Protein backbone atom coordinates (compact mmCIF):
# COMPACT_ATOMS: atom_id res chain seq x y z
CA UNK A 1 0.00 0.00 0.00
CA UNK A 2 1.27 3.49 -0.80
CA UNK A 3 1.75 5.96 2.05
CA UNK A 4 -0.47 8.38 0.12
CA UNK A 5 -3.32 5.86 0.41
CA UNK A 6 -2.74 5.60 4.17
CA UNK A 7 -2.95 9.38 4.39
CA UNK A 8 -6.23 9.36 2.49
CA UNK A 9 -7.79 6.45 4.42
CA UNK A 10 -6.97 8.03 7.78
CA UNK A 11 -7.71 11.63 6.76
CA UNK A 12 -4.20 12.31 8.00
CA UNK A 13 -2.17 15.50 7.95
CA UNK A 14 1.37 15.33 6.58
CA UNK A 15 3.88 16.53 9.16
CA UNK A 16 6.96 15.83 7.04
CA UNK A 17 8.11 13.62 4.18
CA UNK A 18 5.63 14.67 1.53
CA UNK A 19 8.20 13.75 -1.13
CA UNK A 20 8.01 10.09 -0.01
CA UNK A 21 4.23 9.57 -0.17
CA UNK A 22 4.53 7.11 -3.06
CA UNK A 23 6.68 4.68 -1.09
CA UNK A 24 5.20 1.28 -0.38
CA UNK A 25 4.55 -0.26 3.02
CA UNK A 26 3.91 -3.96 3.37
CA UNK A 27 2.62 -4.27 6.92
CA UNK A 28 1.46 -2.17 9.85
CA UNK A 29 1.99 -2.17 13.59
CA UNK A 30 -0.03 -0.30 16.19
CA UNK A 31 1.75 0.10 19.51
CA UNK A 32 2.82 2.54 22.18
CA UNK A 33 5.42 0.05 23.42
CA UNK A 34 8.59 0.40 21.40
CA UNK A 35 9.95 -2.85 22.89
CA UNK A 36 7.10 -4.70 21.12
CA UNK A 37 7.90 -2.93 17.87
CA UNK A 38 11.56 -3.98 18.17
CA UNK A 39 10.59 -7.57 18.95
CA UNK A 40 7.87 -8.21 16.39
CA UNK A 41 8.05 -5.90 13.38
CA UNK A 42 9.66 -7.15 10.20
CA UNK A 43 9.57 -5.85 6.62
CA UNK A 44 8.95 -2.24 5.72
CA UNK A 45 6.09 -1.16 7.88
CA UNK A 46 4.07 1.78 9.06
CA UNK A 47 3.91 2.39 12.79
CA UNK A 48 0.74 3.75 14.37
CA UNK A 49 1.26 5.16 17.84
CA UNK A 50 0.08 7.68 20.37
CA UNK A 51 3.52 7.90 21.94
CA UNK A 52 5.28 11.20 21.28
CA UNK A 53 8.99 11.10 22.02
CA UNK A 54 12.20 10.83 20.02
CA UNK A 55 12.51 7.11 20.81
CA UNK A 56 9.60 6.45 18.42
CA UNK A 57 11.56 7.82 15.46
CA UNK A 58 14.77 6.09 16.57
CA UNK A 59 12.90 2.79 16.79
CA UNK A 60 11.38 3.28 13.35
CA UNK A 61 14.82 4.03 11.94
CA UNK A 62 16.32 0.87 13.49
CA UNK A 63 13.51 -1.25 12.03
CA UNK A 64 13.70 0.32 8.53
CA UNK A 65 10.15 1.64 8.86
CA UNK A 66 9.13 4.25 6.32
CA UNK A 67 6.17 5.94 7.99
CA UNK A 68 4.86 6.83 11.45
CA UNK A 69 1.23 7.79 12.02
CA UNK A 70 0.43 9.59 15.26
CA UNK A 71 -3.12 8.84 16.39
CA UNK A 72 -5.49 10.91 18.55
CA UNK A 73 -4.18 14.17 17.03
CA UNK A 74 -0.83 13.77 18.77
CA UNK A 75 1.86 16.04 17.34
CA UNK A 76 5.54 15.14 17.15
CA UNK A 77 8.12 17.46 18.67
CA UNK A 78 10.50 19.56 16.59
CA UNK A 79 13.28 17.11 17.50
CA UNK A 80 11.20 14.20 16.21
CA UNK A 81 10.45 15.97 12.94
CA UNK A 82 14.15 16.69 12.40
CA UNK A 83 15.09 13.05 13.12
CA UNK A 84 12.42 11.85 10.70
CA UNK A 85 13.63 14.19 7.96
CA UNK A 86 17.23 13.00 8.44
CA UNK A 87 16.07 9.40 8.03
CA UNK A 88 13.50 9.89 5.23
CA UNK A 89 10.62 8.77 7.44
CA UNK A 90 7.17 10.15 6.65
CA UNK A 91 5.29 11.52 9.65
CA UNK A 92 1.50 11.73 9.56
CA UNK A 93 -1.04 12.58 12.22
CA UNK A 94 -4.71 11.67 12.37
CA UNK A 95 -7.62 12.47 14.66
CA UNK A 96 -8.61 8.80 14.65
CA UNK A 97 -7.97 6.58 17.64
CA UNK A 98 -5.56 3.66 17.35
CA UNK A 99 -8.28 1.01 17.09
CA UNK A 100 -10.12 2.73 14.25
CA UNK A 101 -6.95 3.65 12.35
CA UNK A 102 -5.57 0.11 12.48
CA UNK A 103 -8.96 -1.32 11.54
CA UNK A 104 -9.31 0.91 8.49
CA UNK A 105 -5.86 -0.04 7.20
CA UNK A 106 -6.45 -3.75 7.83
CA UNK A 107 -9.85 -3.64 6.10
CA UNK A 108 -8.19 -2.11 3.04
CA UNK A 109 -5.58 -4.85 2.80
CA UNK A 110 -2.62 -3.71 4.88
CA UNK A 111 -1.74 -6.75 6.96
CA UNK A 112 -0.12 -7.09 10.33
CA UNK A 113 3.22 -8.80 10.68
CA UNK A 114 3.17 -12.59 10.37
CA UNK A 115 5.64 -13.18 13.20
CA UNK A 116 4.54 -15.85 15.69
CA UNK A 117 4.16 -14.67 19.28
Full DSSP string of 55-105: HHHHHHHHTT--EEEE-TT----HHHHHHHHHTT-EEEE-SS-HHHHHHHH
- Look at residue 116 in the predicted model and tell me its pLDDT: 46
Query: pLDDT by residue (tens digit) across 92-107?
Result: 999 999 999 999 999 9
Contact 68, 32 (CB under 8 A): no
Q: In the chain, which residues have pLDDT < 50?
A: 116-117
Distance CA 38, CA 36 (A): 5
Q: Which CATH fold would you assign to the domain 3-107?
A: 3.40.1390
pLDDT for 112 equals 76
What residue segments make up the domains of the chain, in order of their start? 3-107
Which pLDDT does position 113 carry in this prediction? 64
Amino acid sequence: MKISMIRDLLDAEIVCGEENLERDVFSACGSDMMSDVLAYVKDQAVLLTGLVNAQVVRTAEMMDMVCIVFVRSKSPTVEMVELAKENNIVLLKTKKRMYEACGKLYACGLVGNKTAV
